[in-house]
Amino acid sequence: MIAALAAESLRGLRANRLRTALTMLGIIIGVAAVIVMLAVGQGAQSMVSSAIASMGSNLLVILSGASTSGGTRMGFGTIPTLTGADAEAIGELPSVAAAAPTVIEAAQMVSGPNNWSASVTGTTPEFLTIRAWQLAEGVPFTEVDVRSASRVALLGLTAATNLFGPASPVGKTIRIKNVPFTVIGLLAPKGQSLDGRDQDDTAVIPLTTAQRKLFGNRFPGTVRFIIAQAKSEDAMVRAEREINELLRQRHRIREGQEDDFTVRNLTALAETAAASTRIMSIMLGSIASVSLLVGGIGIMNIMLVSVTERTREIGIRVAVGARRRDILWQFLLEALFISLAGSLIGVGLGIGVTHALAAALGMPTVITPWSIGLSFAVAAAVGIFFGFYPARKAADLNPIEALRYQ
């Protein structure tokens, strides 16, 4: 019976192709918009969350220089006030698991005919532990390498590929600022950081080597920043306080005097970033849902017109023995077909547009099965919801009045 009524509905839709197509267009656009917006939102979210995951957990960063100095805002780290000894002392604090002093500068690297400019990080072995950075190949440098300022380097994947192509860089020699280094390890890829930098476009070398052999010596023994890891998430606040107290004491800062360093909770910053992309993605989704809703109202509009226009047809059907539910189903199925066909096409269009966006603008996008399922379900619900009122109106028509309708 339902199958026969479905056939009647399809016949009704076919009899008025243009109108059917236009009604469907509302749903098509709505569903496509939802798919695209969700894909963009999801893409941003997954980019942020993988950046956060690549950062390491429970991170604090201690920057040289105060956030304000004598009323004038200074760039962080412009005056290096931190030292390797500060880092060692921080590493010994009860709430801190490890700390690594770090200098970073861009430098030219050369291997044979290839040359490549990337950031060079000088640090201690703890750095890799704190950042949870694995080696894909080779071995990390050690305390001994730091003490003896040996010329060894760990290469990130991007830098390695640009210097050596697909071949393994381990055991090869590169020149950084004309100083020869032996590559002893290849770092596992980490992808983009929160601020969009390629974290694999780097070389990591011992701190002392960087300080003494690469980056001049304007402020001997100092570092731009120290990165530290708290023992646990709960220890973050305590670690921050301990570091503050320790550094004020070590730097002999008197009561009332301003800090010459700044401690930042990277994990909290990352969470803020994650929360704001989540909000952005919800907003994108909501905006798109509105167009789906408008599509639904379009269905109701057209169905109401259609019911009025077909009043006589309905009267005839009822007069020959159609029950209320037969009429109800016929019109409800028409609305449902429109919204289901519309959402099928919309899903296709949405996937197409998403791929086009990703290809043309390089936007990170993620299409998940649930976003397709969701927009499909919402479209079907919209069809039923907005189709029900016109269908009921049709089913409630009095046959005599309907037959008299001109």
Partner 1 sequence: MDDLIRLVGVTKAYPVGDAPPVPVLHGVDLRIAAGDFVAIMGASGSGKSTLMNILGCLDTPSSGDYVLEGRNIAELDVDELAAVRLRLLGFVFQSFNLLPRIDVLDNVALPLLYAGVPRRERHRRAEQLLGRVGLQGYGARRPNQLSGGQQQRVAIARALINQPRLLLADEPTGNLDSETSVDVMRLFGTLNTEDGITLIIVTHEADIAAYARRRIRFRDGRIVEDTATEPLA
- How far is CA 194 from each of CA 31, 51, 98, 123, 229, rounded to the nearest angstrom? 31, 5, 22, 21, 18
Stretch that binds partner 1, among 61-69, 251-259, 315-323, 380-388 (CB under 8 A): 315-323
Q: Does 15 bind partner 1 (CB under 8 A)?
A: yes
- The smaller minimum CB distance to partner 1, of residues 4 and 139, is found at 4
Long-range contacts of 282-290 (CB under 8 A, 24+ apart): 282/41, 284/37, 284/38, 284/40, 284/41, 285/34, 285/37, 285/38, 285/41, 287/33, 287/37, 288/30, 288/33, 288/34, 288/36, 288/37, 288/38, 289/30, 289/34, 289/378
Is 309 a residue that touches partner 1 (CB under 8 A)? no
Q: Would you count residue 317 as binding partner 1 (CB under 8 A)?
A: yes
Q: State the sign of the Cα–Cα–Cα–Cα dihedral 359, 360, 366, 371.
A: negative
Site for partner 1 in 365-404 (CB under 8 A): 399-400, 403
Place of tokens 């994947």: 157
| Exposed/middle/buried for residue 186 (C-beta within 10 Å: 0-12, 13-18, 19+) | buried
Nearer to partner 1 among residue 16 and residue 158 (C-beta): 16
Instruction: Please give the C-alpha separations between residue 358 and each of 184, 286, 351, 362, 365, in angstroms, as whole numbers.
Output: 37, 21, 11, 5, 6
Assess 320 for contact with partner 1 (CB under 8 A).
yes
Q: Which two tokens stand for residue 161?
A: 């590929």
Tell me how far, at minimum, the Cβ of 7 lies from partner 1, in Å.
8
Question: Quick check: 323 binds partner 1 (CB under 8 A)?
Answer: yes
Give min distance, CB of 278 to partner 1, in A: 51
Q: How far is the CB of 329 from partner 1 (least distance, A)?
A: 11
Pick between residue 189 and residue 399 the one whose CB is nearest to partner 1: 399
Q: Shortest distance, CB of residue 324 to partner 1, whole angstroms?
A: 6
Least distance (Å) between residue 330 CB and partner 1: 10
Query: Two tokens at 312?
Result: 């006589």
Q: Give the type of residue at 51.
A: A
Instruction: Compare residues 337 and 386 and give the one whose CB is closer to partner 1.
Output: 337
- Nearer Cβ to partner 1 (3/360): 3
Question: What is the spatial distance between Cα 197 and Cα 204, in angstroms, rounded to a whole number?
Answer: 16
Q: Does 307 bind partner 1 (CB under 8 A)?
A: no
Q: How many residues form the binding site for partner 1 (CB under 8 A)?
A: 25
Query: Which C-beta is closer to partner 1: that of 141 or that of 329?
Result: 329
Considering beta carbons, is residue 94 or 321 the nearer one to partner 1? Answer: 321
Residue with tokens 């917006």, as numbered in its chain: 37
Q: Contact positions toward partner 1, by CB under 8 A?
A: 1, 4-5, 7-8, 11-12, 15, 312-313, 315-326, 399-400, 403
